[in-house]
């Protein structure tokens, strides 16, 4: 194996530390060459830089690398530039690097220590940072990202019949999304960088009043979380199945082939099947961009493979009506309002205007968590439109014999798109060879941290294989980061792929390596959530808080250590999992 991949970046000398934390939730697999260069190098990463500058913590002249060193790709794997992120703590007079690290890593033991660089000191930026802090703690609406939501929805609604476009027209349509990706990610960078402010302030307020859990309770049930919206739509579809004998019989036969059976039963006169299929088409038009690896253009989504969504729906249909996500969210929101009033009383008893002001500022800043999910959803819609263009391009040229496989279109480099259109067969063997090399990257275990710009050659990366972590036994206690309060007991179900959740029964504890929006529907079928990775503002925590599910994240090797089928207790108040019984 070569010691680097064809699209790898050189590490930054200015900001030399990188991490897979949070990055593993975004791109768990190696990026395809086209997926990386088209989506990230020429789109998202430019917006990332602009968002950091807009946030006030850096200036444009500091980004001398190309692409800008807000992130990085090594061995095809996506990394966040930790050194750059830390500027938000090093330069913000109200935050520390330690607080920032906690939000990203929890208590991860291998976090590289922060070593100050003289260039980190930028007192001239303090006014801009404080201006942003003032905006975060006073803003409850953000029309800019609402407009971007409308733009990305219109992009999908106005999608032409791609099969009628010429190759050049297809590439032009895809190219039109690149400036959009940059602008959308600029907004996302601002919202994402601001999402840790509310938990940080609330943690300080909680410490002052002797209640360390208020950050979890007061940020639950905030509502208008776009990544949770598909939950409600899938729930409605699941109720259709649950209420219909025709639909129940079809799903009882298994998810594989379910669409064909639905169509056959609808053609035979089943009104329930006909209505369900129409509702399903509307669902895919609205949410089809979502999927298990949605940031990677070569990956399937709900639109390209509807059975992924149907597999989740098959689990959700087993839940009783009382488990409605709307009811759960309303209950959590009601509890949040009650607890907010109680915390206000406790804070007022201290007689400190500053403490009261901090509490109110944090409650407003909590809106950034909803903004973050909206900006993320906006980006995914734009990524998906590029995906659909390139899938069509791959399909037609595979049929013509110009490429060996339709998926080989994603082995192109960004600069090769127009030459490929001019002479589609010229890269046939090159793309096939790249596909073989790319497949080898999937076998590698990327280092969790890259320190001081020292990227180990790929020949030295460990191969993925059985975990060496010892399985827990009765009485063992695993610890992580408390995500959503509450204590629940249930059967642990280790789910490694959201497209294969069939062991998950109502009330089970879902134990997952990570979660992204494609996992969100499975939260409705679970009684609690445990995740290997994630920090205080990770996706699993945000969704768990919306649904009122006890949740613990950053539980190292949870999917390997917790035996599938074990009875466990999840304590979301303190971040603890206790093994009560193990299968014989």
Q: What are 370-428's pLDDT values in tens digits?
A: 899 899 999 999 999 999 999 999 999 999 999 999 999 999 999 999 999 999 999 99
- The Cα 446–Cα 24 span in angstroms is 10
Residue 223 has what pLDDT? 66
Among the residues of 158-257, which ranges form H helices? 167-175, 177-194, 197-209, 214-218, 229-243, 245-252
Asked if pLDDT for residue 227 goes beyond 80, the answer is: no
Q: What pLDDT band is residue 225 in, cutting at 50, 70 and 90? A: confident
Number of neighbouring beta carbons within 10 Å of residue 231: 26
- The Cα 152–Cα 554 span in angstroms is 33
Share of the chain above pLDDT 70, in %: 98
Mean pLDDT throughout 461-467? 87
Mean pLDDT throughout 508-519? 86
Neighbouring-strand partners of residue 513: none
Asked if pLDDT for residue 517 goes beyond 80, the answer is: no
Asked if pLDDT for residue 538 goes beyond 80, the answer is: no
In this structure, what token pair is assigned to residue 420? 């490929």
Mean pLDDT throughout 515-537? 83
Cβ contact 39:297 at 8 Å: yes
DSSP 112: P
Mean pLDDT throughout 459-474? 90
Alpha-carbon radius of gyration of the chain: 24
DSSP 12: P
Residue 560 has what pLDDT? 94
Asked if pLDDT for residue 196 goes beyond 90, the answer is: no
Distance between the two ends of the chain, CA-based, in angstroms? Answer: 43
Residue 281 has what pLDDT? 97
Asked if pLDDT for residue 96 goes beyond 90, the answer is: no
Residue 224 has what pLDDT? 67
Distance of CA 228 to CAs 27, 232, 303, Å?
20, 7, 18
In this structure, what token pair is assigned to residue 444? 């590698």
Residue 217 has what pLDDT? 77
Residue 103 has what pLDDT? 66
Lowest mean pLDDT among 79-88, 368-377, 467-476, 510-519: 510-519
Cis peptide upstream of residue 67 (ω within 30 degrees of 0): yes
Residue 479 has φ and ψ, to the nearest 5°, of: -120, 155
- The Cα 79–Cα 24 span in angstroms is 8
Spell out the residues 6+ positions from residue 94 whose beta carbon is closer than 8 angstroms to its own.
Answer: 130, 133
Higher-scoring residue by pLDDT: 334, 478: 478
- Tell how strand 487-494 and strand 508-512 pair up: parallel
Lowest mean pLDDT among 262-266, 359-363, 513-517: 513-517
- The Cα 380–Cα 290 span in angstroms is 7
Q: What mean pLDDT is reported for the chain?
A: 92
Residue 429 has what pLDDT? 97
Burial status of residue 118 (CB atoms within 10 A of its CB: 0-12, 13-18, 19 or more)? exposed
Cβ contact 15:81 at 8 Å: yes
Neighbouring-strand partners of residue 487: 571
Spell out the residues 6+ positions from residue 431 whose beta carbon is closer than 8 angstroms to its own.
Answer: 403, 404, 408, 409, 411, 412
Residue 75 has what pLDDT? 97
Domains for the chain: give ranges and CATH numbers.
18-195+366-441 (no CATH), 477-581 (3.50.30.10)
Asked if pLDDT for residue 536 goes beyond 70, the answer is: no
Annotate 475-517 with DSSP letters as a single string: T-EEE-EEEE--EEEEEEEE-S-TT--TT--TTEEEEES---G
Asked if pLDDT for residue 457 goes beyond 70, the answer is: yes
Mean pLDDT throughout 349-362? 93
Which helix (DSSP H) or strand (DSSP E) does residue 73 occupy? strand 71-74
Asked if pLDDT for residue 571 goes beyond 80, the answer is: yes
Asked if pLDDT for residue 317 goes beyond 80, the answer is: yes
Higher-scoring residue by pLDDT: 158, 521: 158
Spell out the residues 6+ positions from residue 41 whose beta carbon is closer than 8 angstroms to its own.
Answer: 7, 67, 414
Asked if pLDDT for residue 584 goes beyond 70, the answer is: yes
Q: What are 116-127's pLDDT values in tens digits?
A: 999 999 999 999
Cβ contact 308:499 at 8 Å: yes
In this structure, what token pair is assigned to residue 237? 């579809």
pTM given for the model: 0.91
- The Cα 313–Cα 522 span in angstroms is 8
Q: Which residues of 374-390 are buried (b: 16+ CB within 10 A; e: fewer)?
A: bbbbbbbbbbbbbbbbb
The highest-confidence range among 33-42, 288-297, 340-349, 509-518, by mean pLDDT, is 33-42
């Amino acid at each position: 194996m070569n010691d680097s991949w064809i699209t790898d970046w050189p590490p930054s000398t200015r900001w030399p530390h990188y991490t897979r934390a949070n990055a593993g939730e975004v791109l768990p697999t190696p990026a395809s060459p086209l997926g990386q260069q088209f989506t990230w190098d020429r789109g998202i990463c430019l917006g990332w830089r602009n968002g950091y500058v807009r946030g006030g913590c850096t200036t444009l002249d500091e980004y001398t690398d190309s692409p800008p060193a807000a992130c990085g790709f090594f061995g095809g794997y996506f990394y966040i530039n930790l050194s750059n992120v830390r500027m938000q703590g090093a330069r913000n007079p109200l935050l520390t690097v330690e607080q920032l690290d906690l939000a990203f890593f929890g208590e991860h033991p291998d976090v590289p220590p922060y070593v100050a660089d003289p260039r980190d000191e930028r007192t001239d930026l303090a006014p801009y940072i404080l201006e942003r802090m003032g905006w975060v703690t006073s803003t409850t609406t953000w029309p800019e990202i609402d407009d971007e939501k409308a733009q990305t929805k219109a992009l999908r609604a106005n999608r032409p019949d791609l099969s009628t476009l010429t190759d050049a027209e297809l590439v032009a349509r895809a190219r039109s999304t690149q400036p959009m990706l940059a602008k959308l990610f600029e907004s996302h960078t601002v919202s994402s960088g601001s999402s840790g402010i509310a938990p940080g302030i609330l943690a300080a307020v909680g410490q002052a009043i002797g209640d360390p859990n208020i950050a979890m309770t007061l940020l639950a049930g905030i509502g208008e979380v776009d990544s949770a919206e598909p939950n409600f739509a899938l729930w409605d579809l699941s109720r259709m199945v649950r209420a219909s004998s025709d639909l129940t019989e079809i799903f009882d036969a298994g998810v594989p082939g379910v669409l064909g059976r639905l169509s056959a039963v609808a053609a035979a006169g089943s009104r329930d099947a006909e209505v369900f299929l129409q509702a399903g088409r509307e669902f895919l038009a609205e949410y089809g961009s979502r999927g298990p690896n949605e940031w990677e253009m070569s990956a399937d989504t709900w639109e390209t493979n509807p059975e992924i969504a149907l597999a989740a729906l098959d689990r959700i249909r087993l839940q009783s009506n009382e488990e409605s996500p709307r009811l759960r969210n309303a209950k959590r929101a009601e509890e949040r309002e009650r607890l907010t009033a109680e915390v206000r009383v406790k804070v007022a008893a201290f007689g400190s205007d500053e403490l009261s002001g901090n509490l109110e500022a944090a409650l407003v800043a909590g809106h950034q968590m909803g903004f973050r999910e909206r900006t993320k959803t906006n980006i995914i819609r734009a990524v998906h439109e590029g995906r659909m263009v390139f899938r069509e391009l791959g399909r037609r040229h595979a049929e013509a014999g110009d490429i060996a496989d339709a998926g080989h279109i994603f082995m192109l480099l960004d600069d090769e798109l127009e030459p490929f259109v001019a002479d589609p067969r010229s890269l046939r063997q090159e793309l096939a060879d790249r596909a073989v090399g790319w497949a080898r990257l999937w076998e590698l275990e990327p280092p969790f941290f890259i320190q001081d710009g020292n990227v180990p050659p790929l020949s030295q990366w460990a191969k993925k294989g059985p975990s060496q972590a010892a399985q827990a036994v009765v009485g063992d206690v695993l610890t992580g980061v408390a995500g959503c309060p509450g204590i629940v007991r249930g059967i642990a179900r280790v789910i490694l792929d959201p497209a294969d959740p069939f062991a998950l029964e109502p009330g089970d504890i879902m134990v997952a390596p990570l979660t992204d929006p494609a996992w969100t529907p499975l939260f409705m079928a679970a009684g609690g959530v445990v995740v290997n990775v994630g920090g205080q503002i990770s996706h699993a925590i945000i969704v768990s808080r919306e649904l009122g599910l006890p949740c613990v994240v950053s539980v190292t090797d949870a999917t390997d250590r917790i035996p599938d089928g074990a009875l466990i207790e999840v304590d979301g108040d303190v971040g603890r999992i206790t093994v009560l019984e193990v299968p014989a």
